[in-house]
Each structure stands twice: as structure tokens, then as C-alpha cells.
Structure 1
Amino acid sequence: MSAKESNIALLNHLALEIEALLSTSSGEFDSLISRINAENPWFIASEIKRALNYWSINLRQSVVRNWLNSYKFDEKKVSKKVLLICAGNIPLVGFHDFISVILSGHHVLLKLSSKDQKLFRYLLKRLEHLDSTFSRNYTLINEPVKAFDAVIATGSANTSRYFEFYFKDYPKIIRPNKTSVSILSSSVSDQQLSLLAEDVFNYFGLGCRSITKIYLPQNFDLERLRLAFESFNELIHHHKFRNNIDYQRSINLLNKTDFIDLGHLLLIENKAVFSPMGCLYYEFYNSFEACVEQVKQNDDLQLIASDFSFENSISLGETQSPHLNQYADQIDTIEFLTEFT
């Protein structure tokens, strides 16, 4: 069995372990969640379980094979060292890159975010428990390294510019901070608005696939958003989220900015696409088609979600559940890893 086939089988076993972990109640798992939450208060139990559930589905052998079938892998190609610098905005956000490097036959120099150490390390330990030789696939690093062949790094706009300069002589994928928007048609249903709420509130809106701006048809009844978003009212009890809401409310009152206060979210009419945590920007349009074409020109966007399907759009409610071949920034990670020299 080739190393790739062995790792596909191993990831399938991990998927089954995660599924079993999520389906049973155990003090060990509760303790793990508590430790993760202490490390990063944004990683609450429901969001940790959301991330784990995603991987329990997408690490299945059939899913991984379907993902990799369209690529050609050279089993004789010499393994290279790939420096992977992970973000920590949502749980396991760097895990897709990690398995991409492993399955491409390379060695990962893994730099974890300080915000997402414990959950990632837990999965690494489970993989090593299933196969004691798995640790050969990666090296955890904390200090700067010089001996590597390629780089995959994710960061803010500022750190991405630094990465571009620092790694200018290496094959690389550098991902700057991006966000996502939604364009709603005049026929959007209440059920679809409830799905939009998931795209707005899941992971507290911290993901690059989280919706931070919506485009609405003229005369759209904003009361419909209030009703659709009610199911996430409990987020106001999260102290850090509540602090953000209170801060944004105060700032907008001082600036005399009009807003609609939903209690757990401020709706603000604004042409920008990056809204602060606790706020959702909205903008009215006259023509759906013209709006789509205009929004597509924005390089700051990870994706566009809509109730009306058009080229490269994502359905409402699916922004945080990408297929394995729906790559961040539309840069094919596997293609990069199989072709760089």
C-alpha cells in the first residue's frame, strides 16, 4: 500500500473516531472542550463540535478519494518540506492544508496558531494512536525555520504582506484576510433567511467564509431579518461577543450612525464589506444582475452566497461546509503541492 493510500485509510479511521466521540457523552471529551475553551474563549462547545462534525464527514474514505481522483500523483517524486503557518480564527481552520500536504506526499513543518493548539494537537495524537508512524509526516515548530521548500501561510492583511516579502523566493500560497457577502433576491424565503443566519452567526462570524455584508432588493422588509436571526439570540450571553456588541453600539451612538438594534446584532447600512463583530452591513440594490457583476469585482471576497444560483455562488446555509475541492481564495492547494519543484 502506498503512503497516500495508507493515509487515506488512516483519515477514514479518524473520521469514525470523531463520529463516535460526538455521538457519546464522556467526561474526557467534556474536559477537552473545557481546555480548548480556556485557550480560546471563542471556541465554545457548539463550535468545536461543528468543526469536528465537518471533519467526521469529510475525512471519510469515499469523500477523500472523490476529492483526489482528478489529480495525478507521482509516487516516486521526492518528498519536500512544506512550511504551514496556520490561522486560528475558527477551530481547525488549518486542517485542510495539513491533510493536503500529507496526502501530496510531503512533510509538514507545522506552525500552529496560539489560538488553535489544543484541538489540532488532539487530532494529531489520535492519528498517532491509530498509526504510530504517522508522526513521520510532520514536525511541530515554534521557532523560525530556514530549511523548507515551499510555504502555505494564512494571516491578516498586514502579516500577509510580510509573508509575501519574507517568502518571496519560495513557491508559496499566501492567504490574506478575506470576508464573504450575500446577495438576496426579491423572492428569498423565510426559510432561506434562517439559513443566512447560520452563515452570519456560526463561529461568531470570525471565518473568512462568514457573511459580513448583505445586499438587499429595494423595499426589503428588514423585520424579516429580525425574525430570521432570533434563533441566535443566546449568543448575547457570551461575554466577549456581548462586549463587542456593547462597544459597537456605543461607537455608533457617539458617531450618530443610524443602526437597527436586534439586541445580539446591529444592522448598519454601509457600502463596505468588512463589518466589525456584532454588526452586519447591508446595502440596497436596484438590479440583481448589476449587483452580482459589481460584487464579483471585489478582490476582498472569499465567496458570495445567495438564494438565487449564479456562477460561483454558494447556497445559503452552506458557507461553512465547503467541499474539499472548494479551496480558499480559489487557489488549488493540491495542484500547487503536486506541481511545485
Structure 2
Amino acid sequence: MTKHTQIIQAFSALGNLLNDYSFQKKRADGWIEKIENVIVKASNQNKWFTIENLEFCISVWGKTLNEKDITEWLANYPEQNKPTRLALVLAGNIPLVGLHDVLCGLASGCSIEAKLSSNDNLLLPFVVDFLVSVMPNWEDKVCFIEGSLKTYDKVIATGSNNSARYFEYYFKKKPHIIRKTRIGIAVLDGNETQDDLAALSKDMIQYFGLGCRSVSHIMVPDGYDFKKLFLALFVHKELIQHSAYANNYDYNKAVYLMQEQEFLENGFIILKKDDRLSSPIACVHYSTYTNLKAVNQRLHDQEEHIQCVVSNCVENAFAFGQTQYPKLGDYADHVDTMAFLLKK
């Protein structure tokens, strides 16, 4: 056996299950039917968790949890010798947003006490149940609680900028990772192909733009023509059929009109010139630049607010269409979760 062999096997088994669902393969163990049931329940519980978004999430995790990538990821870390009690406070903005933290906790040998968001309290218990079926000795490794966190050595808490202030005070006596609001940024130079922009449109629209990796701000050169981007976005016109999204679109448009603010729109998404990085639902902010040197300086200055950058013209950026496909080593907020958990 190599290092982490059983963990690799368990995580790979989860990836295989999710792939089997995505590719409509039959299994004799009943887990496909269980996935179908939990997807319907999660969609009924949370209006933002559409069947399409849930199935996309499952397909992404199925691709991510393959034996090769898991092995390469875990090869960077030693096995845990000292048991650690980990407390997790999980967000619920997109499906399974807390799964990576749970996987890191299990891979590092932690006992996990997790407080789920009420917006996403069905999917992760399902995943853990499956992992326990593969690794029965993990049965007591993950406990989901509704009350206060009580017994822990380390904490990872994810929330908004407001909740982060509370977390930092409440957990100040324990080693912790506190995650605040972050967003995705796109930097364009006008040389993008229509395929590039089509891929970017997915980075903007997936999960209704609610993910921390969703592009909510675009930096464009002075005089940029948005016609090609609007053309790329048009394939997502069905978004306006979602009542909650449509309500946000109508509200934001009405506010901007009453305030006599300038904006561009195509009937289902608004592009508004605004230096703020974060934007409301159904709206994406944009700002203009004169040279890429200034862009790089701004990205550096606002690094703590940025989760990822997608671009063809700046270094260390994700390719268009890839923001929702992070690798196992693409840690949230650029903080190595495994290193944190394994630190003595």
C-alpha cells in the first residue's frame, strides 16, 4: 500500500458514483436512485438549486475525484499522526460548496463536527453516507450538528464579510481559517474569440452568479464594444424564466432607472459600469482600463477580495470557462487547507 491508499480508493469511489449518475450508468447497489432522490429534495428545498445546477455540480465533482488527480494531490502531504478535532461552519450559496473542506478533513485524519447551512443541508450528508459505506471506519468521523460547536482544536468557517467578523471574534482562541466574500474577475483585451466569450458567459451565469468563483466584475479596455459578449450571453436567455432570478433582474433594473444610472442590458442580464468588485444577482459590474500594467496593479491591490481571475491577457489566470472547475489543489482564498490541518 502506498501513502493514503485507502483515502484515494474512497474518494475515487465517490467520483465513480457521481460519474455513473452523470453518464446514466446503472448500478446494482441502489446509490443512483439515492442520488436522484436527494437531488429532487435539494431542488425543492432551495429555489437556487435547480436540477440543472445540481447535475452540473455532480458532473464537476465526478471529473475532479479521479484516482490520478487525487493521488497527485495527496502526494504533497504526509499522513496525519495526531488526531485533530475540526469544526466546520459551511456556506450554502452553491451546491456542495463545503465538500472540499470535508474531504480535506478526512484526508488529514480529522474528526469533523460540521454545521451545515440551511440552504444546503441534504447533499453533504448524502456524500458522507456514501463514503462511510466505502470506509466503515469513517462512521464516527463526521458529525453534522444544528446547535453550537463545542469540542474542536481547529476551525474553518465560511460566510459573508459580516459573519466573518463574528467568526474571527468567536474563534479567536483556536487556530482558524475564516473565509469572507470573494469574487471572480474577468480581464478582457478585445482580442477574445467568440468561443472565448461563450466560455466566459458560463463563468458569469453558472449557479446564477452566486459562487465565489463566479465572474461578477469584468475589466475591459477603454472603448470596448460589448456586442460580442451580449451575443455570447444570449444562449442563456432562459435564465429569466427562473422567478427568483427574474425578480432580482427587475428590481435592479428599476433601481438603476430611478437613479438615472447608465447600464447595458439584454432582457435578462445587466452590465453596469461600477468599480465595485461584487455585483448583485442578474448584474455584472465592469470597469475600464488604459493599460495592463494598471490592471495587474489593481488585481494585486485587491487580492484579498478576489477568488480567481479568468483571462487570456494576464498571468496566472484561469482559462475562459474554467472558473467552476477548480482542481483539488486550488484552495479557497489561496490558503492551503491541508497544510493548515496537518500543522502541529
**Alpha-carbon shift at residue 7 of structure 1 (Å):** 2.2
Give the Cα–Cα distance (whole angstroms) in 1 for the partners of residues 276 and 98 of structure 2: 27
**Alpha-carbon shift at residue 3 of structure 1 (Å):** 9.3
How far does the alpha carbon of each residue in 1:153-204 deviate from its partner, in whole angstroms, 9 at most, with x for none? 1011111110001100101110011112111013111111111101100011
Q: Which moved more, 1:251-260 or 1:31-40?
A: 31-40
- How many residues align structurally? 337
Partner SS, residue 136 of structure 1: coil
2:93 to 89, 92, 95: 89
Residue in structure 2 matched with residue 308 of structure 1 by the alignment: 313
Q: Which moved more, 1:148-157 or 1:55-64?
A: 55-64
Kindly indicate whether residue 67 of structure 2 is the aligned counterpart of residue 61 of structure 1: yes
What are the ranges of 5 or more consecutive residues in structure 1 without an aligned counterpart?
Answer: none
Q: Which residue identity does 1:23 align to in structure 2?
A: F
Give the Cα–Cα distance (whole angstroms) in 2 for the partners of residues 197 and 289 of structure 1: 25
User: Using a 3 Å threshold, how does the CA distance of structure 1 residues 31 and 102 change in structure 2: closer, same or farther?
Assistant: closer
Residue in structure 1 matched with residue 15 of structure 2 by the alignment: 15
Task: Give the fraction of aligned pairs with identical amino acids, expressed as a percent.
Answer: 31
Give the Cα–Cα distance (whole angstroms) in 1 for the partners of residues 103 and 64 of structure 2: 11
Residue in structure 1 matched with residue 173 of structure 2 by the alignment: 169
Residue in structure 2 matched with residue 38 of structure 1 by the alignment: 44
Give the CA RMSD over aligned residues.
Answer: 1.7
Kindly indicate whether residue 270 of structure 2 is the aligned counterpart of residue 266 of structure 1: yes
Give the Cα–Cα distance (whole angstroms) in 2 for the partners of residues 80 and 27 of structure 1: 35
Kindly indicate whether residue 257 of structure 2 is the aligned counterpart of residue 253 of structure 1: yes
Partner SS, residue 250 of structure 1: helix
Give the Cα–Cα distance (whole angstroms) in 1 for the partners of residues 209 and 330 of structure 2: 19
**Alpha-carbon shift at residue 4 of structure 1 (Å):** 3.8
Kindly indicate whether residue 250 of structure 2 is the aligned counterpart of residue 239 of structure 1: no
Give the Cα–Cα distance (whole angstroms) in 2 for the partners of residues 29 and 122 of structure 1: 8
User: Using a 3 Å threshold, how does the CA distance of structure 1 residues 48 and 95 change in structure 2: closer, same or farther?
Assistant: same
1:48 to 31, 38, 54: 54
Residue in structure 1 matched with residue 29 of structure 2 by the alignment: none
User: Is the CA contact (8 Å cut-off) linking 2:3 and 2:79 kept in structure 1?
Assistant: no
Partner SS, residue 318 of structure 2: strand
Give the Cα–Cα distance (whole angstroms) in 1 for the partners of residues 333 and 197 of structure 2: 25
User: Is the CA contact (8 Å cut-off) linking 1:4 and 1:105 kept in structure 2?
Assistant: no
Give the Cα–Cα distance (whole angstroms) in 2 for the partners of residues 27 and 9 of structure 1: 22
User: Is the CA contact (8 Å cut-off) linking 1:10 and 1:127 kept in structure 2?
Assistant: yes
Q: Which moved more, 1:6-15 or 1:132-141?
A: 132-141
Residue in structure 2 matched with residue 185 of structure 1 by the alignment: 189
**Alpha-carbon shift at residue 71 of structure 1 (Å):** 1.8
TM-score scaled by length of structure 2: 0.94
Give the Cα–Cα distance (whole angstroms) in 1 for the partners of residues 115 and 326 of structure 2: 23
Partner SS, residue 79 of structure 1: coil
TM-score scaled by length of structure 1: 0.94
What are the ranges of 5 or more consecutive residues in structure 2 without an aligned counterpart?
Answer: 26-31
User: Is the CA contact (8 Å cut-off) linking 1:3 and 1:105 kept in structure 2?
Assistant: no
Residue in structure 2 matched with residue 102 of structure 1 by the alignment: 106
Q: Which moved more, 1:35-44 or 1:126-135?
A: 126-135
Give the Cα–Cα distance (whole angstroms) in 2 for the partners of residues 213 and 225 of structure 1: 14
User: Is the CA contact (8 Å cut-off) linking 2:239 and 2:268 kept in structure 1?
Assistant: yes
Partner SS, residue 220 of structure 2: strand
